[in-house]
Every structure is written in structure tokens, then in C-alpha cells.
Amino acid sequence: MDGKLVLALDQGTTSSRTVAFDRDGRVVAMAQREFAQHYPRPGWVEHEAGEIWETQLATLEEVVAKVGRERVVAIGITNQRETTVVWDRATGQPVHRAIVWQDRRTAGKCAELKAKAGVEEMVRGKTGLRLDPYFSGTKLGWLLESEAGLAERAREGDLCFGTVDAWLIWKLTGGAHHATDASNASRTLLYDIHEGRWDQELLETFGVCEAMLPEVRDSIADFGMWEGIPICGVAGDQQAALFGQGCFEAGMAKNTYGTGCFLLMNTGETAVESANGLLTTVGWQREGLRSYALEGSVFIGGAVVQWLRDEMKMVSSAEEVEEFAKEVEDTGGLYLVPAFAGLGAPHWDPEARGVAVGMTRGTGRAQFCRAALESIAFQSGELLEAMVKDSGVPLRELKVDGGAARSDLLMQLQADLSQARVQRPSCLESTALGAACLAGLGVGFWESEEELQGMLGMEREFVPGCSAEEVARRWKGWNAAVGKALVAD
């Protein structure tokens, strides 16, 4: 395997990428293509599935040309989750634009289902998810109901449904494989995460025909070949990042700091039901055995930095936020709650709005910059606390990735406020690396999780530097500020 490489197809919400990794987990080559976002109505978000395929194929071919076809031993796929694609089984052509995970057109349908006695409890019990437009089930149901003739064609077996991974697998293999993995299936509202199968009661609830659904396979499995190269590792983006961070054991957690933040904790073979508004999801599946995770999201993470730059004009670049924040020892009692899109777990108040609490005459740009970074750490800390309560598993360490994880100050604030060690890896490409690791294990490029752990180097560890009393004082101030932002009873 010396000199050989594994490719990861990292299909995201705004761009398609291909990344080549060597046996040491180093990035050898990369290519990226952006594609168009379509907003046909307020709250609607769509992609051209054909453009997703074309951009992904272009990056794959570019990387293969750079590194040499003979060096590539396997392909892994990771993808934007929940985005819904339907295509004609005979022609391979999409019958509608892909409905993106951000799309909210089925909010009314979700409210209608919640009003029916027992439906929400049934859905939650089987899928680990909330009745929310975020997931694929109501998107697919809407398509079949709204587009003339689609429901009948689905029943006759003429149509295929898939999340983006299944769409790419179909195209890469020339229609030979209509398949997904358990981590992606668990994000559809159609899959029983305990039984490990598509569920008839769920299908009837959302008006979906089983004939159009992909086969659910392990996350390390035979997904066919592209030009003789085996495709053998698949996982949704956040689960791939959990794997790429080496969070193989219960109690290990990762946080991806992007526009929002996605925090996942491995709960092992136990699907923990959350009492704090978190989601229960399949992390990955190997040899028929599922590893589960608890998941929570921060709606406004790095976006609060963009807000300071673009709307408030306090800084001219994201990098300046940390520079100004370092000019002061603390926020001077300022707390910024960026509830610009409501608050998620553990509050779940869609009507919550952003507030700044504790301003004095001495409050200035530096204090706002530091409070903005603290707000990301506080919100992530709330999710960590909820996960520990739900799982009963103490937090061992928090592994971090994503663009904002490059901020030393933010990572130190996270360690202080969470009273946990924060570990930043040498490679922040955890999502792509996770897909590569799954595929590499599938072909023996890497032999075991232990070998992967040895490969996943840590660039820096941040340890708590605050007293328990100081941390408690700061959390009291944050909780009071959140109370000002909440609207729902």
C-alpha cells in the first residue's frame, strides 16, 4: 500500500469536493467546485441534482488526473444529509430539483402530523428524530403528492429515492447500485434505527412507497465500482466527522465549528433517548452492528462572527474578531445571545431572538468580539451538558474541527466553560477523512481502528484554566441572558 491513496468525495451544501489521503492521513490533493443555490419561494431551497453530480464527477476526475489512477485503491463518500433526490429508474434523470435539508416547505405538514394523537411519539420512538421539515420524509411525501403522476410511478417501481450519497452511488456505478448506508438512512424519518430497516408504519405516515427506497448497507460495504475503483465507505457528513476524529468509543464527542455547530457524542451500541431535546441517530454500521450517537446543533455559531463583520461593521474580517477579543481579559459582564434564528436544544424556542445583556459605558468593540466567541462556547457547552445528562457517560474529551476551530481563543474558552480537554487535530478535514477511513478499512488500506487512532495526530490540546467558582459565575450570567432571549412559555 506504499504510495497508494484513498479518495473521499465530500459532497456539501454549497460545493462538491474530492480529497486524496495517504496512509498517514495527509491530504495529497484536493479539488472543489461550487454549484448554484435555488430559492424558488421564501423558505424553499433547492439544488439541481444533475449539477451536484457534474461538479462531483469533475472534482473526482481532476484529483485522479493529479495523483494517477494507479495509486487510488478505494473511494469513500460523505454528503450533505437529508437532502432529497428522486430520479427515473430507467433514464437516471431527476424528476425534480433536489429539496435541500434547509428547506422549510413542509412545516405545515409537520404541524398537521404533530396534531394527530400519538404520531410524534411514534416517529420519535422509531427514528430518534423530531417531526421537522429538516428531514427527508416530509420532503419526499410532498414531492409525491405535489407533482402529477409521481406517486403512481413510484408504486410501479419506476422511480428511485435517495439522499445525496445514494444519488452519487447510482451515477458512479451506472445504475448498478441503488444503495445508502445506515447513517444516512437514519436521517430520513423512514428508518427504524432500532430494528435497522425501513418501517411500514413510517412509510404510510409520510405517504412513501417502499419500492423507491434504496437498500440500506453497512457504512463499510460494497457500493460498486467507478472505473474499477471500489466504493466501499459511506456516511453522512456529521457522522463521518465523528469517525474521522477517532471517536470510536462511548463518551467520545466531536464538535464541528462552522456557520452553525454540530456536536455528536458516541453512545456505543445503545440508542439513548434524549430528555433534553437532542436527536438520536446512527453514527455508523459495521458488520451489521450499529454505533449510535446523540446529536445537537447550534444554529448560530461562526455566523455570529459574520454578523459582527457584515451587519454591525465592527470588524472587516473574521480574523479581526479574535484580535480584538484578545485585547481584553473578559467581556466586562457583556453576554451576547445570538438567537437570530431562534434557539435549538436544549431550549427549542423558535421565537427566541438575539439579545446583548450587561452593557456599560465601557462596553466597546473588543468586548463584543469576545462575547461573540464566548457565545459559541456557551451554546456548545449547553449541548455537552445535555449529552452527559442523557447518556450518563462522562465526557472524556471534546475533539474539534471546522473553520472556527482554528481560533485558539475560542478553543480555550470552550475548555474553560466546559471544564473539559479540547483536542484539535493536525488535520481539520475530519469529514472527508472519516469517509476515507471507512473506505480504507474496507480494502485493508488501514487494518483497524487502533491503527487509525495512531494516525490521527493532535495539533494542540486546550485544558481548563478557570476555577470552578469563576466558571459557575459566568454560566449564571449566560443563563440569565438566555432567559431574556426566550419567548416561548
SS3 of 64, please? helix
Task: Delimit the CATH 3.30.420.40 region(s) of the chain.
Answer: 5-237, 246-489
- pLDDT at 55 (0 to 100): 97
Average pLDDT over residues 191-211: 95
Residue 488: is its pLDDT beyond 70? no
| CATH class given for the domain over 246-489 | alpha beta
The CA-CA-CA angle for residues 476, 481, 483, to 5°, reads: 95
List pLDDT tens digits, range 406-454: 999 999 999 999 998 999 998 888 999 999 999 999 999 999 998 998 8
Give me the chain's average pLDDT, please.
92
Residue 242: is its pLDDT beyond 80? yes
Of 229-243, 419-433, 473-487, give the lowest mean pLDDT range: 419-433
Residue 71: is its pLDDT beyond 70? yes
List pLDDT tens digits, range 129-139: 988 888 999 99
Residue 1: is its pLDDT beyond 70? no
- pLDDT at 392 (0 to 100): 85
Residue entry with cell 495539533: 459
Dihedral over alpha carbons 419, 421, 422, 427 (to 10 degrees): -170
pTM: 0.88
Average pLDDT over residues 210-234: 96
Sequence-separated (6 or more) residues with CB below 8 Å from residue 164: 11, 52, 79, 80, 83, 85, 98
> Cα–chain-centroid distance for residue 420?
22
Residue 37: is its pLDDT beyond 90? no
Average pLDDT over residues 269-298: 93
Answer yes or no: CATH 3.30.420.40 is held by domain 5-237.
Answer: yes
pLDDT band at 258 (very low <50, low <70, confident <90, very high): confident
- Cell matching residue 364: 466597546
Residue 489: is its pLDDT beyond 60? no
